[in-house]
Amino acid sequence: MKDPRSILITGASSGIGAALAVHYARAGVHLFLGGRNQDRLLAVADKCRARGAVVEITLLDVTKREETTAWVQAADDRVPLDLVIANAGVSGGTGGVITGEPAEQTRHIFAVNVDGVLNTIEGVQDRMVVRGRGQLAIMSSLASFAAWPGAPAYSASKAAVRVYGEALHGALKQSGVRVSVICPGFIETPMTAVNGYKMPFMMGPERAAALIAAGLARGAVRVAFPLRTYVFAALPGFLPPAVMVWLLGRMPAKPAQTQG
């Protein structure tokens, strides 16, 4: 959507979510921002209001289905939503231990990264279809293209929402509702700050937000960047599975549970 005026963003208290909120903020825009950190969310809201936007914030745990759906629908009741960005997510990996990820960490990552996306979009999807317009944007990752032994739950959860979002794009296309999936590489956020390894082609959240907004304005099915990281992430999928797992196993593991 080229000129969204009513926008809802989850995970808006930091990182890409915060940068997207500020990017879209201007006079005539109504922002509904959800996040888990009240102080950071208030700071983001202040920046957006300084740019002329009307901003409403709420403390939000996207794993709580009824609460999330109620918030999204209440926002849509106030100002029909043009764009919903299901951005909230958490990261985590094995930390390099041979026993893999703790079971609770695995379930938490899936709860936020997969259930959280569904909880965000399901409350407004049918409403957008009835209106014949609107856009749903789902935050995935370039990690979704790789079976990364160092972050099994993270890469799998991001693969799940990427495939779901791209399939949903096709399912809703004739309704007038666009679905876009966002697949960023390494972005300077609290989530990546804990990674103890080199992250190639890192970019700031402001640049990422600009690229995402441009892709959403085009109605792109997939907004993946930067190109060099995209190519590197996608290539292993063309290899025999045993070779792919061996190759990706040489990459450093993500630290154990971090949230962002």
Give me the active site residues, please: 154
DSSP class of residue 112 equals I
Q: Which of 45, 2, 1 is nearest to 25 (CA)?
A: 45
The helix/strand/coil state of 97 is: coil
- Written as six digits, the tokens of 223 are 């907004």
Give the burial class of 99: count Cβ atoms within 10 A of its Cβ; 0-12 exposed, 13-18 middle, 19 or more buried: exposed
**DSSP character string of 113-128:** IIIHHHHHHHHHHHHH
Distance CA 17, CA 205 (A): 9
Distance CA 203, CA 223 (A): 15
Q: Which of 203, 110, 119 is nearest to 156 (CA)?
A: 110
Give the burial class of 32: count Cβ atoms within 10 A of its Cβ; 0-12 exposed, 13-18 middle, 19 or more buried: buried
